[in-house]
């Protein structure tokens, strides 16, 4: 297998805190990997070590066939979580400078920057100073800076935080284009929906250790919740009556209706027919496994209480608008 | 690697010199020098008003009034001034204006208090009363049994300027000496002529030719070199520190580190700012040379001194720039840097204190010893080179060698701290922590 990134036994401690503990990771060329984990899990530290911005205490890695990212920086695009620009430089000058630092040819870099900025609705901002742009505009400029030199490996740390839905959509399209071009993509994100939508493989880091490294398709199978979601036609119906339906183990009320847990031996098709016969449904479906559920199961697994899991769920849902340091 | 270093250096250089604040700052000092050199002499002396007024004399000797009247005349004042000035100082074009003094005789028996009251006038009085001179009875002929002559008392109006007071003292001295000589039957003019020896301006003879000796400038040159070096090093060092802090606090540093290694970034910034410092010095030295040309003094500066100046500027800048940049990398805002600046400021102030001492005694034991102690040796050896007795070549080469070692150690330290500090956030570290970082990186 031709690998874009291979990490073996990577560890890093800050004082007594082990930020990354014995991390192994292999990412094939052309793949799109999602790096997820709660705040402070060590995602950004791992990325910084991959980028050779931080240096590991132990372990080894190969980045695009080189022993260090220092030898392959020209071929890597990186959008750090903590965004930064030279405030007094114009957008054109900033992108040209970053592109040329990546050994891009000036004319090629400038042409691609113009094309990407136009696509992101920033054609008019080319000659403006960075300090005159809004936060969202700056974020898009920084995204362009990460890909302006057509990298082979693209590492995006919370790329969509702080962006409006329209910009998120355009960015996703550009990321998809980069993938089609053959770039390997590593996403670090808190927003499970983005990871679920864009990534083929999910790697989860928790307390500095890798706790999950699975393809999305495998995750769905592995974490099949055997849950049926029901929205009743009559909202006043007593849904707890469904507990008496054969094969139903539990009923959990939700805002829209309820989630119905099935026994391991129950046939989902039969259960749906029986449930629909008991309560007239406006909508009934077999619940799709969401990455959020997997995340909560792993991260919340140790904490025990349902309240803490619910708090984590609420937290994750609230992250769609803002980046949080990991 | 070098291509990236040059790109970082070129950006830092062009952004800095294109900054309005920098342009203002770099032009301000030459402007002040221009004012000092060209305009200063013209505006400081030329427009002072001529003092006019009366000087009352109470002559108890009875023989000095006519002599004094001659000595207070403007022509006599001008002649004394020309005689005392010696070789002409090219930087001093005009002396203060010659006052116009009218002498008024008063009886020597007048009550001194009444005489003093003569000086108390209304501010708008038509004729200014400037001074009262009370000459002692034994000022021309010694009193019986005394070895010394008597003198005089001088009372002056409250607003009399120092120049006019000096003119009165000089006239009194001249008048008393002449009167005493005449009393002994000696011709004052003959004595004056005998006493006067014209002091020529010495000519320094060197391999490159002959030139007039200018001791004043030679004395100033080591100090000027020290000041210039100090300004260049401090300016570029501070710019390095603040730009590093800005890059860190604006988070752009992580974007840069995705494109260049910490070492490439550090060297790029260091070289860019060295270029800025050299530009500043080129402007200042160029203006200095222009000023020397204006006074036909350009030959006083050895061209080799300029070469040494560049060498020692680069060595000093690497040390101080490296240290200040590492401080910039370690903190998140300028205010945090102050606590770490202490040791660096001591290293900067030490040569500032040493240079005047070394300029006076360029070959003292202290001067020779400090020639080999980096980083102050850049300042020390430059001051010695600029003095009239420069050090032997082996000492200069030794200073360069130790300077290179010092710069190497400073840059090594800076690189280690830079690598760790750039991404550090939160509480600013102590200097001890910086040393720890350097050891662990």
Task: Say if strands A17-28 and A3-14 run parallel, antiparallel, or are unpaired.
Answer: antiparallel
DSSP letters spanning A138-187:
HHHHHHHHHHTT--SEEEEESTTTT--HHHHHHHHHHHHHHHHHT-EEEE
Specify the fold of B52-200: D-Maltodextrin-Binding Protein; domain 2 (3.40.190)
Cβ of B119 under 8 Å from any chain A Cβ?
no
Q: Classify A189 in phi/psi space as left (phi over 0), alpha (psi -120 to 50) or beta.
A: beta
Sign of the CA dihedral with B355 first, then B357, B359, and B363 last: negative
Q: What angle do CA B79, B82, B86 make, to 5 degrees?
A: 150
CB-based contact B52:B99 (threshold 8 Å): yes
Name the nearest CA neighbour of A299 among A316, A279, A278, A323. Answer: A316
A53 and B4 within 8 Å at the Cβ level: the answer is no
A70: nearest CA partner in chain B? B261
A49 token code pair: 């070590």
**Cross-chain Cβ contact A88/B260 below 8 Å:** no
Chain A residues with CB under 8 Å of a chain B CB are 48, 51-55, 70, 73, 76-78, 80, 82-89, 97-98, 100-103, 142, 145-146
The boundaries of every CATH 3.40.190.10 domain in chain B are 52-200
Between chain A and chain B, the number of residue pairs with CB atoms below 8 A apart is 62
Q: Does B4 reach chain A within 8 Å, measured CB to CB?
A: yes
Angle between helices B431-440 and B303-330 (to 10 degrees): 90
Nearest residue of A to residue B2, measured between CA atoms: A101
Q: Which of residues 410-439 of B touch A (CB under 8 A)?
A: 419, 423
Contact B258 A89 (CB under 8 A): no
Find, in chain A, the residue whose alpha carbon is nearest to that of B268: A101
Contacts of B15 in chain A (CB under 8 A): 86, 88-89
Q: Are B319 and B375 in contact (CB under 8 A)?
A: yes
Nearest to B4 among A48, A87, A101 (CB): A101
Contact A84 B254 (CB under 8 A): yes
- The closest of B81, B101, B86 to B168, measured between CA atoms, is B101
In this prediction, residue B1 carries a pLDDT of 67
Starting at the edge strand found earlier in the chain, the sheet holding A58-63 runs A17-28, A3-14, A58-63
Q: In what helix (H) or strand (E) does residue B68 lie, and over which residues does it extend? A: helix B65-71
- Contact yes or no for A172/A197 (Cβ under 8 A): yes
The pLDDT of residue A323 is 35
Chain A nearest C-alpha distance from B259 (Å): 6
B8, B253, B255: best mutation site toward chain A, by most A Cβ within 10 Å? B255
**Contact check, Cβ <8 Å, A100/B7:** yes
Q: Which of B10, B9, B18 is nearest to B271 (CA)?
A: B9
pLDDT band for A226, please (50, 70, 90 cuts): confident
Q: Are strands A248-253 and A258-262 parallel, antiparallel or unpaired?
A: antiparallel
Statement: residue A320 has pLDDT above 50: no
Token look-up 């980083």 returns B375
- What are the tens digits of pLDDT across the range A232-291? 999 888 999 899 998 899 999 988 899 999 888 888 889 999 999 999 999 998 887 777
Whole-model pTM above 0.80? no
Confidence of residue A93 (pLDDT cuts 50, 70, 90): very high
Which pLDDT value is given to residue A1?
Answer: 63
Q: Are B257 and A51 a contacting pair at CB < 8 A?
A: yes
Residues of B in contact with A89 (CB under 8 A): 15
pLDDT at A306: 55
Nearest-Cα residue of chain A relative to residue B247:
A86
Q: Nearest residue of B to residue A56 by CA position?
A: B441
Q: How do the pLDDT tens digits run along chain B, 441 residues long?
A: 688 999 999 999 998 888 888 888 777 777 776 777 677 666 665 556 788 999 999 999 988 888 898 889 999 888 888 877 665 554 455 567 889 999 999 998 888 888 889 999 887 888 889 999 999 999 999 888 888 999 999 999 988 888 899 999 999 999 999 999 998 899 988 998 888 887 777 777 766 677 666 666 667 777 788 888 888 888 888 888 988 998 888 888 888 988 888 889 999 999 998 998 888 888 888 888 887 777 767 667 778 888 998 999 999 999 999 989 988 988 888 888 888 888 888 888 888 788 888 877 888 898 899 999 888 888 888 888 888 788 899 999 999 999 999 999 998 888 888 888 887 776 777 777 778 777 765
Mean pLDDT value across chain A: 86
Joined together, the tokens standing for residue A188 give 């670090």
Q: Which residue would you say has higher pLDDT here, A306 or B239?
A: B239
Say what the pLDDT of residue A222 is: 65
SS3 call for A201: strand
Residue B1 sits at the chain A interface (C-beta within 8 Å): no
- The pLDDT, as a whole number, for residue B37 is 67
A200 contact partners, CB below 8 Å, separation of at least 6: A31, A32, A33, A215, A216
- How would you list the strands of the sheet with A184-189, edge to edge? A76-79, A153-157, A184-189, A32-36, A201-206, A209-215
Helix (H, G, I), strand (E, B) or coil at B210: strand
- For residues B331 and B410, give the distance between their C-alpha atoms in angstroms, rounded to a whole number: 18
Kind of pairing between the strands at B100-106 and B152-156:
unpaired
């Amino acid at each position: 297998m031709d690998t874009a990134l291979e990490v073996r036994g990577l560890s890093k401690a800050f004082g007594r805190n082990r930020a990354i503990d014995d991390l192994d990771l292999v990412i094939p060329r052309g793949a799109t990997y999602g790096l997820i984990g709660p705040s402070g899990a060590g995602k950004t530290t791992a990325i910084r070590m991959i980028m050779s911005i931080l240096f590991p205490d132990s372990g080894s890695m190969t980045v695009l066939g080189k022993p260090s990212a220092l030898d392959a920086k020209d071929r890597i695009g990186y959008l750090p979580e903590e965004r930064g620009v030279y405030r007094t430089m114009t957008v054109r000058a900033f992108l040209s400078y970053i592109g040329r630092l990546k050994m891009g040819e000036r004319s090629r870099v400038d042409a691609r920057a113009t094309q990407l900025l136009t696509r992101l609705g920033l054609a008019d901002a080319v000659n403006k100073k960075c300090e005159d742009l809004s936060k969202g505009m700056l974020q898009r400029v920084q995204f362009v800076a990460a890909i302006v030199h057509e990298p082979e490996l693209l590492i995006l740390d919370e790329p969509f935080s702080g962006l409006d839905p329209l910009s998120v959509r355009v960015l996703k399209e550009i990321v998809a284009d980069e993938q089609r071009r053959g770039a390997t993509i590593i996403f670090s994100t808190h927003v499970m929906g983005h990871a679920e939508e864009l990534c083929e493989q999910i790697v989860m880091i928790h307390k500095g250790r890798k706790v999950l490294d699975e393809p999305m398709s495998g995750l769905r199978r592995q974490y099949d919740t055997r849950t049926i979601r029901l929205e009743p036609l009559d909202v006043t119906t007593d849904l707890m009556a469904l507990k008496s339906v054969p094969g139903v183990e539990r009923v959990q009320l939700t805002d829209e209706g309820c989630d119905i847990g099935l026994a391991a031996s129950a046939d989902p098709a039969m259960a749906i027919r029986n449930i629909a016969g008991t309560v007239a449904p406006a909508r009934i479906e077999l619940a799709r496994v969401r990455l959020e559920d997997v995340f909560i199961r792993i991260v919340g697994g140790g904490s025990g209480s349902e309240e803490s899991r619910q708090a984590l769920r609420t937290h994750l849902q609230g992250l769609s608008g803002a980046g949080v340091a990991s | 690697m070098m291509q990236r270093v040059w790109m970082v250096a070129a950006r830092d250089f062009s952004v800095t010199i294109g900054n309005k604040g920098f342009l203002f700052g770099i032009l301000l000092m030459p402007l002040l020098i221009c004012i000092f050199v060209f305009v200063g002499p013209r505006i400081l002396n030329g427009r002072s008003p001529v003092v006019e007024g009366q000087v009352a004399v109470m002559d108890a000797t009875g023989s000095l009034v006519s002599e004094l009247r001659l000595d207070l005349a403007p022509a006599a004042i001008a002649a004394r001034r020309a005689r005392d000035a010696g070789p002409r100082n090219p930087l001093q074009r005009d002396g203060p204006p010659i006052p116009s003094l009218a002498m008024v005789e008063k009886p020597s028996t007048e009550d001194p208090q009444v005489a003093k009251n003569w000086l108390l006038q209304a501010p708008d009085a038509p004729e200014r009363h400037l001074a009262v001179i009370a000459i002692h009875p034994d000022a021309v002929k010694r009193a019986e049994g005394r070895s010394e002559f008597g003198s005089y008392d001088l009372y002056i109006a409250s607003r009399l300027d120092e120049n006019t007071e000096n003119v009165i003292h000089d006239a009194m001295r001249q008048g008393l000496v002449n009167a005493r000589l005449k009393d002994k039957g000696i011709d004052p003019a003959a004595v004056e002529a005998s006493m006067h020896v014209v002091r020529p301006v010495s000519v320094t003879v060197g391999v490159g030719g002959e030139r007039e000796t200018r001791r004043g400038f030679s004395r100033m040159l080591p100090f000027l070199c020290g000041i210039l070096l100090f300004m260049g090093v401090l300016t570029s060092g501070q710019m390095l520190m603040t730009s590093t802090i800005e890059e860190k606090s604006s988070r752009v540093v992580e974007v840069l580190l995705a494109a260049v290694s910490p070492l490439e970034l550090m060297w790029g910034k260091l070289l860019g700012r060295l270029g800025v410092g050299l530009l500043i010095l080129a402007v200042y030295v160029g203006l200095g040379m222009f000023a020397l040309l204006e006074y036909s003094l350009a030959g006083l500066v050895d061209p080799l001194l300029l070469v040494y100046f560049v060498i020692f500027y680069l060595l000093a800048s690497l040390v101080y720039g490296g240290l200040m940049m590492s401080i910039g990398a370690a903190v998140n805002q300028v205010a945090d840097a102050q606590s770490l600046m202490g040791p660096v400021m001591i290293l900067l102030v030490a040569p500032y204190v040493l240079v005047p001492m070394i300029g006076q005694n360029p070959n003292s034991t202290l001067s020779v010893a400090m020639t080999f102690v980096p980083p102050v040796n850049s300042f020390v050896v430059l001051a010695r080179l600029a003095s009239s007795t420069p050090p032997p070549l082996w000492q200069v080469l030794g200073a360069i060698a130790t300077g290179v070692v010092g710069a190497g150690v400073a840059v090594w330290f800076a690189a280690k701290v830079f690598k760790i500090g750039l991404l550090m956030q939160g509480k600013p570290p102590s200097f001890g922590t910086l040393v720890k970082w350097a050891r662990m990186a």
